[in-house]
């Protein structure tokens, strides 16, 4: 399973904003440059993340983009799902009837368990935690 480039860019944009002081706005050109995200792609992503309630946008000379909620309340899972939809390792994890083997398939059980573990991990990881980890690593680099 691989998330889309769009979801990766969304995660990078949120991570960048989470690293700023709370309430700080950044221009889309600044985010684009700092996170190496094509500007046209970023505009679409910002729009989707705004509709999903993760970002607040303001137009004009004093405009920009800021987080709509604290970084500790935004999980990796929610951002990825806002862009890519629900996490699925295989289509049968969402609906057993898709597979001709249905509920008797022992492989489906493994897919479902792996999906559940991935969803759990992503839902428990917030951008606030990621920022704290980054700052801790910057303070005490490995020797």
Quickly state the pLDDT bin for 33 (edges 50, 70, 90).
very high
Task: Look at residue 124 and tell me whether its pLDDT is greater than 90.
Answer: yes
Highest mean pLDDT among 21-25, 33-37, 84-88, 92-96: 33-37
Average pLDDT, the chain: 90
Q: What is the pTM of this model?
A: 0.86
Task: Look at residue 75 and tell me whether its pLDDT is greater than 80.
Answer: yes
First to last CA, the chain: 35
What would the DSSP string read from start to end of 85-140?
-S--SSGGGT-GGGSTTGGG-HHHHHHHHHHHHHHHHHHH-BHHHHHHHHHHHHHS
Give the pLDDT of residue 139. Answer: 66
Average pLDDT of the segment spanning 108-122: 92
Q: Check residue 21 and report its DSSP letter.
A: P
Q: Which long-range contacts (CB under 8 A, 24 or more apart) does 131-140 make?
A: 131/15, 131/18, 131/19, 131/71, 134/19
Quickly state the pLDDT bin for 18 (edges 50, 70, 90).
very high
Question: Under a CB-based contact definition with an 8 Å cutoff, are residues 64 and 117 in contact?
Answer: no
CATH of domain 5-139: 1.10.10.10
Task: Look at residue 134 and tell me whether its pLDDT is greater than 90.
Answer: no
Give the pLDDT of residue 129. Answer: 95
Domains in the chain: boundaries: 5-139
Average pLDDT of the segment spanning 41-65: 92
Give the pLDDT of residue 81. Answer: 96
Q: Return the closest-CA partner of residue 66 out of 50, 78, 55.
A: 55
Q: Which helix (H) or strand (E) holds 78?
A: helix 76-84
Task: Look at residue 102 and tell me whether its pLDDT is greater than 90.
Answer: no
């Amino acid at each position: 399973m691989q998330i889309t480039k769009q979801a990766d860019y969304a995660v990078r944009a949120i991570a960048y904003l989470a690293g700023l002081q709370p309430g700080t706005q950044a221009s889309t050109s600044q985010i684009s440059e700092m996170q190496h995200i094509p500007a046209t792609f970023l505009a679409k992503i910002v729009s989707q993340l705004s509709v999903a309630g993760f970002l607040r946008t303001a137009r004009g000379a004093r405009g920009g983009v800021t987080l709509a909620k604290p970084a500790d309340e935004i999980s990796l899972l929610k951002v990825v799902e806002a862009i890519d939809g629900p996490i699925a390792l295989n289509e049968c994890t969402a609906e057993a009837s898709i597979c001709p083997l249905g509920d008797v398939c022992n492989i489906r059980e493994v897919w479902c368990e792996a999906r559940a573990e991935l969803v759990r991990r992503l839902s428990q990881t917030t951008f606030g935690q990621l920022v704290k980890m980054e700052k801790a690593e910057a303070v005490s680099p490995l020797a």
